[in-house]
Amino acid sequence: MPEFTAKDVQALRQASGAGMLDARRALQETDGDVEAAKRWLREQGLASSGRRSERPSSQGAVSVVVDGPGAIVELRCETDFVAKSAEFVRLVEELTQLVASKGEEAAAERQGDVDKLKVTLKENISIGRVVRFRPAEGAILDSYLHIQNGRGVNAVLVELEGGTQELAHQVAVHIAFARPTYLAREDVPASEVEAERATIESISRKEGKPDAALPKIVEGRLTGWFKERCLLEQPYVRDEKQTVAQLVGEARVTRFAQVEVGA
C-alpha cells in the first residue's frame, strides 16, 4: 500500500475540490504522488466533485416497486432538469429493483454509478431515503407513484391485512395526497401530544375561553390535530364523509411509507 497521511488527503481535497474518498483513492492509484493524484482526479472527472457535494440537493426522483417485497428509493439532485433526465430516472428505477430483491443496504452497491452520474451531469447527486417492506404472511402490499415531468415525485407503500388489492391501492392513493405522519394516534409520541396540548390550551386561554370549558375545547382541537396527522382518522380523500378506518372496515393497515421529493 502507498504511504500517505490524513493530512495528505485533506491537502489534495483542498487543492482539487474532490471528495474525501476520491482524494484517498487518487493517492492510492498514484502511490502517494500528490501531483499525479491531481492529474488522476482531473482525468477521472472527479476534481471539484467535493464542492458539488456541498450544494443543496432538493430535487430528485423516486421509484417504487412491489415484487414480493416492496421498495421505495429516492435519488436526489439539484435541478428539475437533471431529475427528469433519462439516465437519472433509469438509475433510480434500477436501485429500487435492487433494494426490493436484496435489501436496503444493497443500494450502496451502486454508489459507483451514482458517482459517475455526478460527473456526467455535473450536479450533486446522492441516494436519499430507502424503504423496503417484506410483507407478513397473508398480507397484501400495494403502491402508488405520482409522476411529474416524466419522473416519480411521490411514492407510497402500504401493507394491508384482511383486505383486497384494490383496497390497499385506495389507501395508497389517499396517503399520497393526504400525507399522514402516523398510522394511528397511539403511534404519536407522548411528548409531541403533550406539547400540542399545552399549545392549544395557551391559545384557547388567550382567546378568552372560560376555564370551565377549556378541557372540552382543548380535547376537541386536539382531535382535529390527530385527524391531520393520523392515517386512520383522516377523512378519506375520495369521500370525506368517511374516515380511512371506516373505509378499510375489518381489514387492517399494518404499516405504510411515503417518500416525496423535496419533503
- Assign residue 179 the CATH number of its domain: 3.30.479.20
Contact of 47 with 18, CB cutoff 8 Å:
yes
Cβ-count burial of 190 within 10 angstroms (0-12 exposed, 13-18 middle, 19+ buried)?
Answer: exposed
C-alpha cell at 180: 399522514
Residue 151 domain-assigned (yes or no): yes
* pLDDT tens sequence across 82-117: 999 999 999 999 999 999 999 999 999 999 999 899
The verdict on residue 233 lying in a domain is no
pLDDT tens digits, 239-256: 999 999 999 999 999 999
Q: Is 236 helix (H, G, I), strand (E, B) or coil?
A: strand
Q: Which residues contact 4 (CB under 8 A, 6 or more apart)?
A: 27, 32
* Structural domain for 109, as ranges: 59-183+244-260
Number of domains in the chain: 2
In terms of domains, do 253 and 126 share one?
yes
* 177-221 per-position pLDDT tens digit: 999 999 999 999 999 999 999 989 888 888 888 889 898 999 999
> Largest Cα–Cα distance in the chain?
79
Q: What is the pTM of this model?
A: 0.76
Q: Which residue bears the cell 382543548?
A: 218
What is the CATH number for 32?
A: 1.10.8.10
80, 45: one domain: no
Distance, CA of 167 to CA of 152 (rounded, Å): 22
